[in-house]
Structures are given as structure tokens and as C-alpha cells.
Amino acid sequence: MLQVATDDGTWVLPPTRALWLPAGVRHETTATGPTILRGVYLNPTQCPVVWRDPQPVAVSRLLAELLLHLGRKLTPAEAKRAQAILPDLLEPVRAVTIHLELPADERAREVAEALLVNPADRRSLPAWGRHIGASARTLSRGFLSGTGITFTRWRAAARMREALPLLAAGRSVSQVASAVGYDTSSAFVAAFRRETGTTPGAYFRAQ
């Protein structure tokens, strides 16, 4: 599974997803395990795709085979013919985009850093406040002003970042749900659907 980070966020991509990056977008790619990365570079002046922002796309069997084909030694004419087909196969889909900024407030940051170490920690904001000596309202303001999202949403994103590599490694939904702090598999699946628009099984299933 790949993670592609830009200034706008981090996309988590299983083998069933790829990411279109417009020319000039600075990015960093990392992998969670042994991975073969295939990238296709197109001349922006000759490409009909006009997406201005990074766009996840579905990797169908046909697109996967085309990417393999484009990785071979081709004549200029062969490459041109293959590249002409590529834009027609780019089907936009949702993929998890995780952007976890740390709060500037020291007390809220302490909570955030603890959750990055252990996303399964189920303590409420009042409980965290008692632990570090701050009110729940102070921590709530710290998360919202420092990250742009609420504590609940931030924690859900942290849990999702932990869950995706586990799912990609073949762990069951129930195992992953427990590992990242959800009481039931159904609660985890509901959270996953909110972030991706689909279920864990569908997200990782080959197209």
C-alpha cells in the first residue's frame, strides 16, 4: 500500500487505487511494505485530462495491464498509441485523504501526540483534560483552532491512518476495529464509510 503526501494531505492507496498528480505538484511517496511502484508521465500540453488537483482513480484490470505495457521498452509510435488510451480509463473515485496537523496549543498537542502513538485510546476529552490538567473546553478549542477540525474528527482520522495498513495486510475487520479503538465492527465500518464512501471490503477489492 502506498501513501502519497502533498501539501493538501496524504492519500492512502491500496493496489485498487492510483493517484493522478498534475504537473508541478510536489509530493512524497512512501510504502508500508514491499512494493512495486509504477508511474506514467504525460506531457501536459498533449494530455486531455484537465484535473487541477490530485485525483484518485480506480485501477481496473485493463488500466493495470496498460500501465505494465507502458513500462516496457516501446517505440515512440507504440508509446503514443498506448498513451492515447490512458485518459479514457481514468475513473475518478474516492480514496482516503488523511491530513493530520498537530495543534499549536501545547495541551491539545500532548493529547494528539498520545493518540498518534495509541489511536485505540478511548478516553473522552474530559478524561484527557483531567489527565493533563486542562478543561475539555480548552482542549476542544485547541484542536479546532489549531487543526481546523474537532477532536472527534481528528481522532477518527488518526484511527483511520492506523487501520488502513492493517486492512491492507489482510487483518480482519473485527481485528482492525479492536486494534484502533472501536467497540464493534459495525461502528468501524460506519466510520470507514464516512471517510471513503464505501466499505473496507469494497475499498480493497480488485476492480
pLDDT tens, position by position, 107-151: 999 999 999 999 999 999 999 999 999 999 999 999 999 888 999
Give the per-residue pLDDT at 95. Answer: 74
Average pLDDT (184-195) is: 92
Average pLDDT (185-206) is: 85
Q: What is the mean pLDDT of the chain?
A: 89
Average pLDDT (20-43) is: 88
* Ranges for all domains in the chain classified under CATH 1.10.10.60: 100-204
Q: Which amino acid belongs to residue 26?
A: R
Burial letters for 80-89: b for 16+ Cβ neighbours within 10 Å, e otherwise? eebbeebeee
User: May I ask the CATH class of domain 100-204?
Assistant: mainly alpha
Crossing angle, helix 151-168 and helix 136-147, to 10 degrees? 70
Give the per-residue pLDDT at 14. Answer: 83
Q: What are phi and psi of 171, to 5 degrees?
A: -70, 150
Burial letters for 141-154: b for 16+ Cβ neighbours within 10 Å, e otherwise? ebbbebbebebeeb
Give the per-residue pLDDT at 206. Answer: 54
Q: Which amino acid belongs to residue 146?
A: G
